[in-house]
Amino acid sequence: MEFLSSLLPIILYVVAIILLVILIVLAIRLIRVINKVDNLVDNVEEKVNSLNGAISVVRSVSNSISNISDTVTFGLTSAFSKIFNRFNKKKEDGKYE
């Protein structure tokens, strides 16, 4: 019994030391991975910032094309509407006479 009471703390200390070493190694690897990810994010951020000018140009061209197509569509729609309303008025006027 006395042998177990002296051996058990030694085993627990050895296991605790091994666990502490493993945790330190994992922490160091985690720090390296976080540094690599940070460098990657910085690199991607630089590339995105370099594309901001091109993206704003594309956005402004897209908006102007959209405005032009909306204007043309509205004009054509109103022209067709006026033409069909004239035909409908002539047909309605002819029915009641």
Residue-by-residue pLDDT tens, the chain, 97 positions: 787 788 899 999 999 999 999 999 999 999 999 999 999 999 999 998 888 888 889 999 999 999 999 999 999 999 888 887 876 666 666 555 4
In terms of pTM, does the model score above 0.85? no
Which tokens sit at 78?
């109103």
Predicted confidence at residue 63, as pLDDT, reads: 94
Alpha-carbon span 9 to 87, nearest angstrom: 103
